[in-house]
Amino acid sequence: MQRYFVEGSNWENKRLWITGEDVHHILRVMRMEKGDKLVGIHPQHGPARCRISEVTSEHVECLVEEWLEENRELPVQVSIVQSLGKGDKLEQVVQKGTELGAYTFIPYQADRSVAKWDGKKAAKKIQRLQKIAKEASEQSERIRIPEIHSLLSFQELIYLKEEYDWCILAHAEEARSESFRPLASILERIKLDEKVLVVFGPEGGFSENEISDLVNAGFLTVRLGPRILRMETAPLYFLSTLSYQFEERGKNS
């Protein structure tokens, strides 16, 4: 059944109104009409099976038939700090990372980021990333859309550390070292519902200063397997590993 996130102010008792671009999708792309069913997702109460009760050019009104008991959220909150990269790499990370269960994405202007975002460009980019996260959340049947944080400076990244249980630095150099810290050694200690902040470098990796300052601030360097991954692959490896650890491991059919 087609799914739509509907902001809290558009719900009243058992009635909800879908507005904006989703109206076009429901009426023109899906060709739905009065009487058809869809899933509406409330930001706090989650998904509900609904039936379309009225259609105008401005909104699609639905009535809730049943609240659904489903939750596909990763049971640890993972915030991905992604250094700005070339082209559409950040968009790829947000789309695939949303499918894999990321909680938040935080764009970061790294020392070696080739791309630069100024104020106006940053606002537009974040708006586009938020749209990608919404579509990927609908596609992957999540009940929450990851938030796209505003662009972070290095100092803001250090301050952010206080809000997390775990702060991790994905460091390619660990993969080249004999005495690396394996990801497994950290995963085994993370508990359900804890908050994890993990930082990924751009194409050229982190600068020496960034690494030493992050390590001094308490970030744990980690390797993500023995191969050097592209900047857009590394967060997906990390999230997949967490899904295995917290959602799949030890579960027999």
Query: Which stretches of the chain bind ligand SAM, using CB under 6 A?
Result: 170-172, 174-175, 200-201, 203, 205-206, 223-225, 227-231, 234
| Shortest Å, Cβ 161 to ligand SAM | 17
Give the nearer residue to ligand SAM in terms of CB position, either 15 or 161: 161
| Shortest Å, Cβ 170 to ligand SAM | 4
Give the nearer residue to ligand SAM in terms of CB position, either 41 or 199: 199
Sheet of 166-170: strands edge to edge?
147-148, 104-108, 77-83, 195-200, 166-170, 220-222
Give the nearer residue to ligand SAM in terms of CB position, either 84 or 170: 170
Q: Which amino acid is at 88?
A: D
3-state secondary structure of 175: helix
Cα-flanking dihedrals φ and ψ of residue 4, to 5°?
Answer: -140, 130
Contacts of 224 (CB under 8 A, 6+ apart): 170, 175, 183, 234, 237, 238, 241
| Shortest Å, Cβ 180 to ligand SAM | 8
| Shortest Å, Cβ 157 to ligand SAM | 13
Give the nearer residue to ligand SAM in terms of CB position, either 47 or 107: 107
Contact indicator for 131, 105 with CB cutoff of 8 Å: no
